[in-house]
Chains A and B, each alone.
Chain A
Amino acid sequence: MAPVLRTHVDLRSEEYAANRAALLAALDDIDALYAGIASGGGTADPEKNARTVARHRGRGKLLPRERIGLLLDRGSPFLELSPLAGWGTDDAVGAGLVTGIGRVSGVECVISGNDPTVKGGSQSPITVTKALRAMEIARVNRLPLISLTESGGADLTKQVDVFNPGGASFRNLTRLSAAGIPTITLVFGSSTAGGAYVPGMSDYVVLQKDAARVYLGGPPLVKMAIDEDADDESLGGAEMHARVSGLADYLALDEADALRIGRDIVGHLGWRKAGPGPAAIPRPPLYDSEELLGIASADIRIPFEAREVLARVLDASEFDEFKPLYGTTLVTGWGHVNGYPVGVLANNGILFSEEAHKGAQFIQLCNRMDVPILFLQNITGFMVGTRYEQGGIIKDGAKLINAVSNCGVPMITLMMGASYGAGNYGMAGRAYDPRFIFSWPNHRIAVMGPKQLAGVLTIVARQKAEAAGQEWDEEAFAPIRDAFEQQVEDESTALFATGRLWDDGIIDPRDTRTVLTLALSAVHSAPVAGTDAFGVFRM
């Protein structure tokens, strides 16, 4: 039996209470954002949103999340991805698209549905980024993709930023198909011009009668181009495509019927997961996940013990720690999440050469064992200074980044605190293609901490002034420095990061085990296989 983690958290400490209060407040803010995206409309004006949604419903239409609710199996969980995409940008929060993973006819699928109440379902650059991310998740995890389409096409005011990535989305559809991953599109409304290639490139197409409109050019364009008078139905109606063009494989009578047919199609796929699946019977942790709210530091500068998190995430709080006495600021070892075996790398402080060595070795071991890896990031970076540079910390950090970059087994990353500098890279940050990456609300991310960045900027400015022979006025520079620090602070938040799809969503720390379980289950749809093909480890 594996060693059991014991807790040392003081549930009555002021620190615990303060962390908990801060995280709950952050979650309340997120809830308010969720309520906004779930109710539709996509603008800051609730009355306008209500009118838009009422008009949509008046046509007998459902909101995208309601469509997904009907599409899913009863009892199926639904892990929504990138829900706050677009936060902090001039696009609507949520980007007018709902993506996520859920079970349809017993098969875990990626579901992607336009929200026609947000700018008519038109696609902004963030919408396309979010759609591409969902497709990527479908591809690397080998999950069938179901598109619930009703979109006005590209947001023409932003066509310069949409044209190229939009094209990639159609390419990706057929690449999924080529990889043997089924693609199914249900069209509930408009899917025209470039959007017509969503059904056009899918394996299975269901069009809703008297609702779907699928054509390259609508009546005005046809009139302009070839001087033909044509109506919507004969250009792109569902019945036409079902009986004449053959674009539709199935004709649905209404929304519910389309969803039923979509479920039937998935049911007939005979889809099987290719991964080994869970290896052990699930056992709950010994400690309450509720306590994670008090453990995670609200102030990212205050470190917290990674093992306290593992004690509330791993099955039976059991953790087989590897190299516990060496490179102690990186915790490595094995455990299970709801029966799924995982290797864990968790930060417990700054990375030194020893930690980099330890991590690189551990990642190789997980690849030998074909065990997915869980990265728990709370890292302010690699150690700097003469002693460490001379000790070869670049070479050692490179070993860790090499191991992460070439890792064959699936990596799942949880941002549970800070993520600064090359530490982000060595711990499978966004650029290192983890299969999934989720953040806690207290997460902060940047090249380095805001204070440090502002300080560096000040030093560089002073050196520049002095080199130019100017007198350095520290006081005059103070407002510039403070403004920059504030800007970095604002651009380091979890919301800012999630708004730009640097992660797959902010999660409630109490849901960590559930989210990791769903991610691991998705990961096991594809084969789980390690590699021995790493880059040259610099010695």
Chain B
Amino acid sequence: MTPRIRRILIANRGEIASRVIHTARRLGIETVAVHSDVDAAAPHVAQADRSVRLPGVSSADTYLDGEQLIAAALAAGADAIHPGYGFLSENPGFARAVGEAGLTWIGPTPESIEAMALKVEAKRIAAEAGVPLVPGAELPRGLSDDDAVLACATVGYPLLVKASAGGGGKGMRVVTDPTSLLADLQSARREAASAFGDDTVFVERYLAGARHVEVQVFGDRYGTVVHLFERECSIQRRHQKVVEEAPSPGVTAGVRERLHDAAVSLSRAIAYEGAGTVEFMVFGEGDDQEFYFLEMNTRLQVEHPVTEAITGIDLVGWQIAVAQGEPLPLAQDQIIASGHAIEARLYAEDPAHDYRPGTGTMHRFGHAAEPSLRVDAGVTDGSVITPHYDPMLAKVIAHGASRTEAAAVLADGLSRLTLHGPATNRDSLAAIVRSPAFLAGATTTSFLDEHPDLLAPVACPEDEQRHAIALAVAVCEPDADARVHPGWRNVPGVPESVTAIRRGGSDATTILVDRGRGRLGIRIARTPDIPFTAAFALEGERIEDATADVARGSADGPTIVTVSVGGVAARCTVARYGDEVFVDDGIHASAWTLAPRFPDHSRDAVGHGAVTPVPGTITGVQVAQGDVVEAGRVLVVLEAMKMEHSIRADADGVVTRVLVEVGQSVDAHALVVEIEPVEEATT
């Protein structure tokens, strides 16, 4: 009998670490967090009772270093390790080492992990358990090109190349045309080798238009295996799940039952203990619907909360129970699903710009406290988003009586998130769950390819107008205790101006706020760069019926600007962090970078060049035409009144002309070297 767990070390970071801590606390179990150097201030560290630093930044040096993790657990007095997902969660060697160190491993046995880790082996076991498989072929190392081409021809095109040791989309290739096969195989092998240290690949028939459906299973050490229904995770980008739900909206009752049965029989076949997920591809509709085994994940899934929502079961709680040697708390017929749950993964990535990663400080992260909404977040106010780890910030999960209700609650919850930080996929997620295709349940793995417009949803122009006005008015009215209305004018035509760049846009937006005799005239002009004065000359959008009322809470808190355009008012919260400004009105959010009020000419050399300070004789010329120089670099040496003067570049630039030579006498203020300053790349 395994002793009861008293203190868990969570060998992970981010939202899953927080998630495990949450259940541990509910069960009266103490927790130990680990953190890399950049994660020292992460929320999971603050939430845990004890924390251990893992020196370094890279995953390899920290969250993937099993030895250090076990040492940390022992040092911190932990008696169990929860691996979370990712990192070492499916590493049988680590699972084994944890046990050998006398600690409880909260997860399946190393043997189960091993059995499912190699895809080829997993398929063999699945076939034996009577689970249908996608037509495919192994391509063992050393196979001749001709044999590979032949093997693939029997599988049929289009086909998918996958890494045997892989996951998460790495080493994956869709091959539609036999002529590119060999090249694709080669690059997939290269990618697999670098990602997993193993270049073995295999091919499968690529099922376009299929659904990704997976079954949550649980087993205990007494041979009981149950399923907790299925989830559908078809909406993916680059093989990464984006939106997940339970139950699947697209499987027939018959297929659903067969899916559950297949998952349970496979798990039984390997005497599975703990939480696992059996993934399938579901193909076709109605009576023709078929499914094939994909793989089994021997860990808790990112998307487990949708299962928790419909079953009311705490899966981490069950993991701990099983790890402590307890039987499963409920029998299959006691596990009941109710309603529908949908999860959206919030990433610090901008889908509108080729998933450009967002990094920087999340000044504020907040969400509504709705009972039907769950937010599992790995960030908190002030968290710094680094490029070192997975860019997932949080998961937002909505539970409703119906799928449409859950979708509405989720979309609304996403829109109302306060995200004052780097760019995210929030708007895209909200657009996806609001889209007619999603609401119709027409979800397949090619959903996002078929609806690229959902990656860069277009904001309502009136909402954007109101935000621009709110931003400008908040910036223009800095006085909290002014005796007269800030920006008051008795005669119009003396506008205040604010220039900002809307995140996601390339143009600079200049908002001219023209007050006069109680009226507010607004002009919004957009220019390709930051012109400072050029926008004044543009007609722009003219809004004559706008009103904007400012209410300020605390001195350093956000400004509330109630902006009305066309008779419709929105209460906009304008929060400013240095040059970054965020505007939220509940259903629309926008992020802006303020341009400085005046151009920064401090680095511009007046006359773009270096001039002599005094009259004298040139004794040295240290640059030639075409040289790239940095500010401060000596260009020319001048001797005057027995003193040597170094004439330096006052800006970074390229030497376009040298106007003097050694021995030449020069006047004061003479231009000696002409430099074309380098425009700083704008980001």
Contact = CB atoms under 8 A, between A and B. Distances in A.
A260 B489 contact: no
A68 interface: yes
6 contacts: A35-B492, A38-B516, A79-B490, A80-B489, A260-B599, A511-B490
Contact of B486 (A35, A75, A263, A515): A75
A75 B482 contact: yes
B601 interface: yes
A65 B516 CA distance: 12
Interface of A: 27, 31, 34-35, 37-39, 57, 60, 62-63, 65-66, 68-70, 72, 74-80, 83, 209, 239, 243-244, 251, 253-257, 259-260, 263, 278, 282, 338-339, 505, 507-508, 510-511, 514-515, 517-518, 521
A338 B483 contact: yes
Contacts, number: 125
B495 interface: yes
Contact of A38 (B487, B491, B601): B491
A511 B477 CA distance: 19
Given A35-B492, A38-B493, A63-B493, 5 more contacts: A37-B491, A38-B491, A69-B495, A78-B494, A521-B483
B647 to A, nearest CB: 16
Contact of A65 (B477, B482, B493, B534): B493
A35 B491 CA distance: 8
Given A75-B478, A80-B490, A239 B601 contact: no
A80 B491 contact: yes
B491 A74 contact: no
Contacts of B536: 57, 62-63, 66
A77 B601 CA distance: 28
Interface in B489-503: 489-497
Find the residue from B479, B483, B493, B494 having the highest chain A CB count within 10 A: B494
A253 B606 contact: yes
A514 B598 contact: no
Nearest to A27: B517
Contacts of A282: 483
A388 to B, nearest CB: 40
Nearest to B488: A77
Chain B, interface size category, equals 35 or more
Contact of B496 (A63, A69, A253, A518): A69
Nearest to A278: B483
A78 B487 CA distance: 7
B568 interface: no
A75 B477 contact: yes
B497 A69 contact: yes
A251 B494 contact: no
Contact of A514 (B484, B495, B532, B533): B484
- Nearest 10 pairs between A and B by C-beta? A38-B493, A260-B598, A77-B488, A75-B486, A65-B493, A57-B537, A80-B491, A65-B494, A338-B483, A256-B532
Nearest to A239: B607
B193 interface: no
A84 B536 CA distance: 24
B483 A256 contact: no
Contacts of A209: 606
B604 interface: yes
B495 A75 contact: no
| Chain A interface helix/strand/loop/mixed | helix
Contacts of B495: 65-66, 69
B493 A39 contact: yes
Contacts of B477: 74-75
Nearest to B600: A260
B604 to A, nearest CB: 7
Contacts of A38: 491-493, 516
A514 B533 CA distance: 30
A212 B483 CA distance: 38
Contact of B488 (A78, A239, A255): A78
Nearest to B495: A69
Contacts of B490: 78-80, 83, 505, 507-508, 511, 515
Nearest to B479: A75
B486 to A, nearest CB: 4
Contacts of A508: 490, 517-518
A498 to B, nearest CB: 12
A159 to B, nearest CB: 29
A62 B534 CA distance: 9
A431 to B, nearest CB: 24
Interface in B440-495: 475-479, 482-495
Given A60-B533, A62-B533, A243-B669, A518 B492 contact: no
Contacts of A507: 490
Given A27-B517, A254-B599, A75 B492 contact: no
B185 to A, nearest CB: 59
A144 B597 CA distance: 23
A340 to B, nearest CB: 9
Contacts of B599: 253-254, 256-257, 260
A514 B489 CA distance: 10
A253 B599 CA distance: 10
Nearest to A54: B537
Contacts of B484: 77, 338, 514, 517-518
Contacts of A251: 606
A78 B489 contact: yes
A75 B493 contact: no
Contacts of B533: 60, 62, 66, 70, 254-256
A395 B349 CA distance: 85
Given A37-B491, A508-B490, A517-B483, A256 B598 contact: yes
A99 to B, nearest CB: 11
B483 A68 contact: no
Interface in B639-677: 669
A72 B477 CA distance: 12
B478 A74 contact: yes
Contacts of A74: 475-478, 487, 496, 597
A31 B489 contact: no
Contacts of B496: 69, 72, 74-75
B567 to A, nearest CB: 21
A79 B482 CA distance: 15
A257 B495 CA distance: 18
B531 to A, nearest CB: 9
B488 A68 contact: no
A505 B533 CA distance: 29
B604 A253 contact: yes
A69 B494 contact: yes
Interface string B364-399: 000000000000000000000000000000000000
Nearest to A260: B598
A505 B483 CA distance: 21
Contacts of A72: 494, 496
B530 to A, nearest CB: 11
Nearest to B482: A75
A31 B483 CA distance: 25
A257 B669 contact: no
A316 B477 CA distance: 25
Contacts of A514: 484-485, 488
Contacts of A257: 598-599, 601
A505 B489 CA distance: 13
A128 to B, nearest CB: 21
Contacts of B491: 34, 37-38, 65, 80, 83
Contacts of B489: 77-78, 80
Find the residue from B490, B495, B597, B606 having the highest chain A CB count within 10 A: B490
Interface string B18-47: 000000000000000000000000000000
Nearest to B483: A338
A69 B488 CA distance: 11
B528 to A, nearest CB: 16
B576 to A, nearest CB: 12
A255 to B, nearest CB: 6
Contacts of B497: 69-70
A39 B494 CA distance: 11
